[in-house]
Amino acid sequence: MTRFFVSPEQMQSQFLVLNGENAAHAKVLRLKAGEQVLVCDGAGNECECTISDVSPNQISLVVNSRRESSSEAMVKASVYMAFSKGDKLEHVIQKATELGAYEIVAFPSKRCVSRPDDKSLAKKLERWQKIAASAAEQSGRGRIPQVVVVSSYKDALVRASNADKAILFYENEQATTLKMALSDSRYSSISLLTGPEGGLEPEEVEQAKSYGLSVCTLGKRILRCETAPLCALSAVMYDSGEF
């Protein structure tokens, strides 16, 4: 069933209207009166609707039923990724959304090569959120993950530590595996933090420990900065029963 996202405010009415990009998309799909569509508020709620009227600039809908989205993961997984070069973060945002991430958080660290200023960061954040929205629509999500930027590594650690379980991945860790970290207790929320292309400084790892993060390995091989968060997220989804 074709899926559209609208604001939570628009979802309150018994009669909905699709306009702008949604109407243009509906036109491309050649939707007609009488067809069924799914409308989501991007926060985990959805309506099954019938198209009542199609005009050049808008699509009118009648709400048949409302429900919570059944496609959202039970565990709230937050992916924390250090700023990276090129479009690597865009790739992670898209794929993490498909895998079921609750949110994606970008942060600076000492070895980050990419350090966008406030002006460019605002443009990037707008683009990143659109990528998340597109991926959520394509993958059948009922919620659009928020893409968040924090201003410092410390802020990322403080924020990440609020989850039931918070894990930092470090290439020089050998003793603690992700399987070990996930099996020591149950969790309904989890933070997964990975570094940039050059990895994290040893003192940054110690700082993470001081904020209560567990430090884990993702195996004997060195993973690229865009591979590590997706690998960790996939493992969490498997461990929580999503796969």
DSSP letters, 101-157, are -SEEEEE--TT-S----HHHHHHHHHHHHHHHHHHHHHTT-SBPPEEEE-SSHHHHH
CATH architecture of 76-239: 3-Layer(aba) Sandwich (3.40)
Kindly report, residue by residue over 7-55, the tens digit of the pLDDT.
888 888 889 999 898 999 888 899 999 999 999 998 889 999 999 999 8
Q: Per-residue pLDDT for 224 more than 90? A: yes
Q: Could you give the CA distance from residue 158 to residue 82 in angstroms, rounded to a whole number?
A: 15
Q: Which of 234, 225, 233 is nearest to 89 (CA)?
A: 225
Q: Where exactly does CATH 3.40.1280.10 map onto the chain? A: 76-239
Question: pLDDT averaged over the chain?
Answer: 93
Question: What pLDDT score was predicted for residue 119?
Answer: 87
Residue 42 DSSP one-character state: B
Q: Note the pTM of the prediction, 2 decimals.
A: 0.88
Q: Where exactly does CATH 2.40.240.20 map onto the chain? A: 3-68
Does residue 213 contact residue 181 with C-beta atoms inside 8 Å?
Answer: no
Q: Which of 61, 48, 49, 69 is nearest to 19 (CA)?
A: 61
Kindly report, residue by residue over 52-104, the tens digit of the pLDDT.
999 888 999 999 999 998 889 999 999 999 999 999 999 999 999 999 999 99
Does residue 147 contact residue 129 with C-beta atoms inside 8 Å?
Answer: yes
Task: Indicate the SS3 state at residue 57.
Answer: coil
SS3 of 6-39: CCCCHHHCCEEEEEHHHHHHHHHCCCCCCCEEEE
Question: What pLDDT score was predicted for residue 90?
Answer: 97
CATH superfamily of 3-68: Hypothetical PUA domain-like; domain 1 (2.40.240.20)
